[in-house]
Amino acid sequence: MRRVALAAALLLSIVACREDFFDPTPGDTPGGEPRLELLAQNLRMIPGDANAIRIALQAKDGSVHIRVERSDSSGRIIACPLRTIDDAVPATGCLPDLPNGVREGLTITGLGAVVLVREGEPLMLDVTVDYADSGRRIAVRIPTIEPPAGASACKDNGCNPFFEVKPVKGGRFTASARWSGGGGHLEMLEGRVRARAFTSTGIPYRVAGEADGASPLSVAANLNAPSEYALALHNTSNVALTEIEIEMVWP
């Protein structure tokens, strides 16, 4: 009997692993639709529909999954699916609040964008969106980038927004950014930016493309898989950048 019980337990463990039982974001099984993952870090949220974070994307099946890491658990972050990035925030079909670290789904026929609205005090947000890959053109609108708090506090992309796409494919990458306010610096970095590899190793990231100055700015770069890349936008002035829109075309 003891051997039978052990064999049964082993069989259940194998089945659980195959069914991604231990996966914190289950459902992406091998052999399914190719999925794209967009990582956006250090996004500042301020309350109100007019200050919403908007992300335009190309989802194949009209659905996305979204997960956030938030600097403050108070207040709400409302998430809604949109058909276009310019659509008004809908009254129905939204998630009333995105909890920290939980993968949630959004679906609408013809989904082409998502919007995040803050209710509560300003906060910093990291966002992960994954979806069936139908194209790699992405646009992001964010309300503000504050002047850097200081060199030590903001070193290694600790304060500025940056964006990664996985899996990386080799080819031509292009991006542009426009905003209101002071000067900025747009750069495409090769390296493990999300892991803060520069801080841990002291080895600078390779700059694959960069532009500096007043809005608008644009960069282009040739990407090589399986290297990791991040598009970063810095505020180089002493005033806030506002009404920011970043457009990216990943290979």
Q: Which of 24-33, 156-165, 219-228 has the lowest mean pLDDT?
A: 24-33
Q: What is the mean pLDDT of the chain?
A: 90
pLDDT > 60? residue 45? yes
The average pLDDT across 107-136 equals 97
Contacts of residue 15, Cβ cutoff 8 Å, sequence gap at least 6: none
pLDDT > 70? residue 22? no
Strands 123-132 and 241-249: unpaired
**Helix (H) or strand (E) segment spanning residue 106:** strand 104-107
pLDDT computed for residue 14 by the predictor = 43
Summarize pLDDT for 211-233 with one digit per residue, the tens.
Answer: 999 999 999 999 999 999 999 99
Cα–Cα distance for residue pair 188/35, rounded to 1 Å: 22
pLDDT > 80? residue 149? yes
Q: Which backbone phi and psi does 183 adopt, to 5 degrees?
A: -85, 160
pLDDT > 90? residue 7? no
What is the DSSP-derived secondary structure letter of residue 93?
S
Beta bridge partners of 142: 244
pLDDT computed for residue 24 by the predictor = 44
Q: Which of 37-46, 123-132, 153-162, 170-179 has the lowest mean pLDDT?
A: 153-162
pLDDT > 50? residue 189? yes
Beta bridge partners of 144: 242
pLDDT > 90 in the chain, percent? 83
CB contact at 8 A, 83 and 97: no
CB contact at 8 A, 81 and 93: yes
Give the sign of the dihedral formed by CA 105, CA 228, CA 208, CA 193.
positive
pLDDT > 60? residue 31? no
pLDDT computed for residue 152 by the predictor = 80
CB atoms near residue 175 (< 10 Å): 23
pLDDT > 50? residue 81? yes
pLDDT > 70 in the chain, percent? 88
pLDDT computed for residue 150 by the predictor = 77
pLDDT > 90? residue 78? yes
Residue 199 Cα distances to 2, 14, 72, 157, 188, angstroms: 52, 39, 25, 10, 18
Sequence letter at residue 72: D
Cα–Cα distance for residue pair 192/184, rounded to 1 Å: 22
Global confidence as pTM: 0.86
